[in-house]
Each structure stands twice: as structure tokens, then as C-alpha cells.
Structure 1
Amino acid sequence: MEVTKVLHMNGGIRNSSYAKNSLLQQKVILMTKSITNKVISTLYNNLSPGETIRIADLGCSSGPNTFLTISQLIQTIHEECKSNSQQQSPEIHVFLNDLPSNDFNSIFRSLPTFYEDLRKQNMGGDGLFVTGVAGSFYTRLFPSKTLHFVHSSYSLHWLSQVPDGIESNKGNIYVASTSPPSVVKAYYEQYERDFVNFLKYRSKELADGGCMILTILGKKNEDRFSKGACYLLEPMARALRELVVEGSIEEEKVYTFNIPAYYPSLREVMYIVDKEGSFTIDILKTCELHKDDFDENMAQCVRAFTEPLLVSHFGDNEILIDQVFHKCREIYVNFMTIEKTTFTNVIVSLIKRN
């Protein structure tokens, strides 16, 4: 599986699209709004008058959440201008990044409406410039010292590849409670390599004093695996195992399917940031979101971000994919809805060292 070619959220606006099944991600963005506002306000007040503010949203996906993030940033800058009695907001250049397979077309089609909404709210729009940047954020994306602020929400748990050496993870599709220690180790080591690369490249791209806010679906420090990830992914693992028993999928196909994602703890994030050394930690905390805080068809939610991976591995068989998520839906209704589950979110605010 070449992750950079196949990993993307379901595009468009159909029932299984990310645009229609991303309420969890939306709530996380809103949950971190106060932290983002504070950082952007400080950044704005430290810039030279008239300087263009350059912001990158990494892992932007498509749909309403993409514009929710941009709107919050623009609103904060606009309010800072008013409080400083400035007549005109600075120019803002926003770079929207995701992998090449992302539905950038939907983003660009929605831009005219987004600009018009900004004007209706008296937040301008003429001084906002939006650019799409296709590529993995585990590689260089921007020229040196061009960015002031980097934002990423619910993207950095994705890995650049499925880890090597996890053949013993049979019957699981992620780091589960029954995964062997060698599998847990392989996943973590892949995450550490990827996150170090992410930090290294962003340190080159951020201007002096530039900052980042990263929100990552994670786990409690004492857990071997993420209970939030278990809630999201275990029904699909069960569904695939049931389809093996029914003879609809070859057992070996299921045994070789693994999700390229790792859900770090706060301590792991802190260790990697300190080890890489390019950034100072300003804020590092966890926030929990209870699954009862949102009412969403969880099978559709999971389908929105896993279907492309399933199609890549099992083939473009619509009947089979529908079977997988029909079983997922039954498992959620019969078993998962009675479980008390919280999503642990690791939030880190970083400032580039000079």
C-alpha cells in the first residue's frame, strides 16, 4: 500500500463523504479554538506593520471543517485589528495542504461562497489568498522561513507507511489490545520517525518565532493502545473477521491489512519534540471528548476515512465494501453504543527555537 497515493478522506458530498461525516473532527477544532486564538493574537502583535501573514493548514481535507479552521483564524486577526484601531486587516496567505489524492476540487469550488460569507461578516476577503499545496507533510512543502503559523488537526496520527515487521498482527488492523508487543513497538518507531521528520521540515519552513498548534487523536499515558481508536476501528476489524468466516474475503487478505495510523500519548509527543530539538513547548495538554457529545452514524464516519484504504487493499468491489460497513453498523448498534468511550486528544503548541 503506497499511503501517499491512496490515503484520503472520501471526497464529494455523497452520504459516505467526509464532508457529511466529520462532526467529531469539527468538535475537536472548536474545542481547541481558545488555544488557537491566543497563539494567533500573540503572533499578530509580534509581526511588523503591513506584513503578510502566512498560515499553513496541514491535513486540511475538504468540506466544512476546512473553512471552519480558516474562518477562526481570520476572525481572530480581524478582532485584533479592531482592538488596535487599525482600519485595514493585513493580507493573509493561507496554504491548504493534503496528500495529492485529496478532494482539492471541492475546496476550490467552495472558495467563492467562502469569500462572500467573509464579506457579509465584514471580515474582508479581498486581502485573503488561498493556495492548495499537494504533498506529504512528512516531506518539505514550503521555502525556508516563509510561514508564520502552522495548524494541523486530526492528521498527525496518520503514518507515512504501514510499519514493517507487523506480520504477527493477524486478526487486528491497528494497535489493538491483543497486538503483540513487537507490533506496538514497530508502530511507535514508525510514528517517531515520521514525527521527527515533520518537526524537522517545519522548523526549516517557519520564520523565526513561528509557531504551530497540533491536535492529535491519542491515548492516555498508561494505555498501550487508544480506546478512542478502538471504538472507531474495532467494529471494522470484527466485520472483516466475520466476512472471512462467511467466505466473502480470503483470510490472508485480512491478515495483511493494517491501518497506517498511530495514536500517541502526551508523554510520547513530549519526548519526540524534546528529542528533535527545533521547538519549545508552549502548551501541552490532553482534552477528552466523550462519544456521547456527538450524535453521528459512526459506521459512516469510519467509512469516510477508511474506504479508500479498503478499496486499495481488497479491490474496488462496491458490494464487498457495503457488506463491511453494514456489519460495522450492526456492531455499533449491538455492542459499541453501550461502551463508555472517550477520545483522548493531545494538543501541543510549539514555538520555533531561534
Structure 2
Amino acid sequence: MEVTQVLHMNGGDGDYSYSNNSLVQRMVISMTKPIMEEALTDLYFAMNFPKTLTMADLGCSSGSNTLLVASEFIKILDNIRQKVGHDELPEMQIYLNDLPHNDFNAIFDSLSKFHKNIATQIASPTSLPPCYFSGVAGSFYTRLFLSNSIHFFHSSYSLMWLSQVPEFKNTNKGNIYMSRTSPTSVISAYCKQFHTDFLMFLQYRAKEMVSGGRMVLTFLGRRSDDPCSKECCYIWELLAMALNDMVSEGLIEEGKMDSFNIPQYTPCAKEISNEVDKEGSFTINRLDISEVNWDAYADNNPNPLKNSVRGYNVANCMRAVAEPLLVSHFGESIIEEVFIRYRNIITDRMSKEKTEFINVTVSMTRKC
């Protein structure tokens, strides 16, 4: 699997699009807004009220969440401007980065509406905020920007995706991710790939960021030191159950199942901290852990949702993320059946136990 070619969220605005099934990600961005606000406030004062600021959102995807980050960036800066009594916002260059197959067209189609909306939400005396957008297609495990050019990096729910599927010495039979039944070598390969990738990420961002710049990263992660913890692997184990059922019925080839693995690793706070210390270019200001319900719609609904509805919501959320990976490996013909089974499995498990995603957020400063 060539990850850079197949890893992207479902585009467009259909029933299974990321745009319509990313409330969890939206809630996480909102939950971490105070950390972003703190980092930007410190940056603004440390730079002595700059006239220009450059921000990059890494793994921006597409849909309303993409420009939610930009919107918060602008509104936070406008609030800071008002508090210190400045007449004008700094000019802002915002880079939106994701892999080449991301739906960038949908993003840029929505910019005109975005500019009109944001102008009504800020107190700037100008009719439109001085904000300029550019798309940057490419992996954040490579160099993306000029040296010493970025003041603020942001990424949410992206850095758990690996640059490649780890290379295994043994087959991860019956699994599509790490689990209790995975060989030790598989678990070690996943851990090694994450540490290699994240160290590389930090090295590239250190070159691209100005001294004193800020970076806020949120990972889908875990509390436990155990990389096979249920709190981070369970959602994929349930998908593996659906696929294995189809293997047993002859609907999927066993060899196809055994060769499919998700290019993801959900780190704990200690792993993130260790890699930041090892790379050496950044100081950690905050390292927080939070959680969000698998079904974010349940948290936003005043009335309890039926388990079948909750299962449908979670399955669609995962489909928006995982469908391109599944299609590239198994083909389109199995997709509907896989997600019908997956939805039923999720519904059953959510009726019996508490299900949450764990988030790890780190706020850092580029050392001078």
C-alpha cells in the first residue's frame, strides 16, 4: 500500500463524506481551542505585536473542519488585538496542507463564503480580514515550507497516521492493526515506525519554523503505556471482526485479509514527550489528555439516541476515514457489506460498554 496515494478522507458532501461525518474531529478542535489560544497569545506578545503572521494547518482534510481551524486562528488574533488596543489585525498567510488526493477543490470553492462569514465575526475595522490562503499538497513527513518561514503550526487528528504501513517479520494474521493476538514483532514494528516518523516530522518543522514559533498538535492517542490497549485499538478490532466474518463466508480472500494493515499508531503522552526531548528543537509548554465519545452526536443531542442510531453514526464516521484504504486493497464490491456488519457490531458493543476516543494534545515552542 502506497500510503501517500490512498490515504485521504472521503471527499465531496455525500452521505459517507468526511465533510458530513467528522463531528468527533470538530469537537476535538473545539475542545483544544484554549490551548491554541494560549499558544497564539504567547506568540503574539513574544514577537512584539507582529504585522504579519504565517500559519500552517497540517493534515487539514476538507469540509467545514478545515476552515474551522482558520476561523479560530483569525478570531483569536482579533481578540488579542482588541485587548492590547491595536487598530488592525496582522496580515495572515494560512497554508492548508494535506496529501495530494485530498479534496482541495472543495476547500477553495468554500473560501468566498468563509471570508464573508468571518468578516461578521470579528471586530476589525476593515471589511475583510487580511487573510490569504494557499494549498500545500504533500506529506508532512517531508519538507513543505521555506526555512524559518512559519510562525505557528497546527495539526489535529492527523499525526497518528504513519508514512507507511510498518514492515513486519511475521504476518499479523486475523488483524488489521495491533491487537492482543498480534505477534510481538508486529507491535514493535508499529512502535518503531511511529517513532521514526514523528522524529522526522519534528526535524522538518524545526527547520521551517522561526525561533520562538509555536506548534499545537493533537493526536488520537491513549492513556495507557500499552500500545495494544483497548482504548486505542478496539475500534479497529471491531472492523477486523466484520472482515473476518466475510473471510469465513468466502466473501473475502484470506490472503487479502492477512496482507491488510492500517497505517496508524496512537501514541501515549510519554512517547510524544520522549521524541520531542530526543529531537531537541522544541520546549513542551503543555501536554494534555482528553476524551470524546465515539458518537459525538450523542453528546450534542439533548435526548438519548437509540443504539442503532449511535452505531450508524460511528460506522459512518469510520467509513469516511477508512473507506479509501479498504477500496484500494479489497475493491469496491465489498464495501457496503463490510460497513453493514461493522455497524451492527459497533451497535452491539456500544449498548454494553462505554466507548471513548483518547486525545493527546501537545503545545510547544521552537527554541531560539
Asked if residue 198 in structure 1 is aligned to residue 214 in structure 2, the reply is: no
Q: CA RMSD in A?
A: 1.5
Cα displacement string for residues 243-299 of structure 1 (whole angstroms, at most 9, x for unaligned residues):
111111100000000000001111111111111111111111211224465435111
Asked if residue 300 in structure 1 is aligned to residue 316 in structure 2, the reply is: yes
CA distance in 2, matches of 1:291, 1:338: 14
CA distance in 1, matches of 2:360, 2:49: 34
Q: TM-score, normalised by structure 2?
A: 0.92
Aligned match of 2:302: none
Structure 1: which amino acid aligns with 2:5?
Answer: K
Aligned match of 2:90: 90
Aligned match of 1:55: 55
Identity of aligned residues (%): 49
Indicate how the Cα distance of structure 1 residues 173 and 325 shifts in structure 2: closer, same or farther if over 3 A, else same: same
Aligned match of 2:301: none
- Decide whether the 8 Å contact of 1:227 with 1:342 is kept in 2: no
Aligned match of 1:310: 326
CA distance in 1, matches of 2:26, 2:347: 23
Question: Residue 212 of structure 2 is aligned with which of 206, 209, 230?
Answer: 209
- Decide whether the 8 Å contact of 1:58 with 1:150 is kept in 2: yes
Aligned residue pairs total: 352
Aligned match of 2:226: 223
Question: Residue 188 of structure 1 is aligned with which of 186, 191, 212?
Answer: 191
Aligned to 2:172, the other structure's residue is in SS state: coil
Aligned match of 1:325: 339
CA distance in 1, matches of 2:296, 2:242: 25
Deviation at 1:219, TM superposition (A): 1.2
Indicate how the Cα distance of structure 1 residues 43 and 50 shifts in structure 2: closer, same or farther if over 3 A, else same: closer
CA distance in 2, matches of 1:221, 1:236: 22
Q: TM-score, normalised by structure 1?
A: 0.96
Asked if residue 340 in structure 1 is aligned to residue 350 in structure 2, the reply is: no
Unaligned runs of 5+ in 1: none
- Decide whether the 8 Å contact of 2:232 with 2:358 is kept in 1: no
- Decide whether the 8 Å contact of 2:209 with 2:366 is kept in 1: yes
Deviation at 1:126, TM superposition (A): 4.2
- Decide whether the 8 Å contact of 2:170 with 2:183 is kept in 1: no
CA distance in 2, matches of 1:166, 1:116: 54
Aligned match of 2:157: 154
Indicate how the Cα distance of structure 1 residues 350 and 103 shifts in structure 2: closer, same or farther if over 3 A, else same: same
- Decide whether the 8 Å contact of 2:44 with 2:50 is kept in 1: no
Deviation at 1:214, TM superposition (A): 0.5
Indicate how the Cα distance of structure 1 residues 105 and 160 shifts in structure 2: closer, same or farther if over 3 A, else same: same
CA distance in 2, matches of 1:26, 1:134: 22
CA distance in 2, matches of 1:76, 1:134: 26
Question: Residue 135 of structure 2 is aligned with which of 120, 125, 132?
Answer: 132
Cα displacement string for residues 156-206 of structure 1 (whole angstroms, at most 9, x for unaligned residues):
000000000154311111112222221111000000010000000000000
Query: For residues 165-314 of structure 1, what are the structure 2 equivalents within 5 Å?
Result: 165=168, 167-291=170-294, 294-295=297-298, 297-314=313-330
CA distance in 2, matches of 1:294, 1:25: 12
Aligned to 2:212, the other structure's residue is in SS state: strand
Deviation at 1:221, TM superposition (A): 3.0
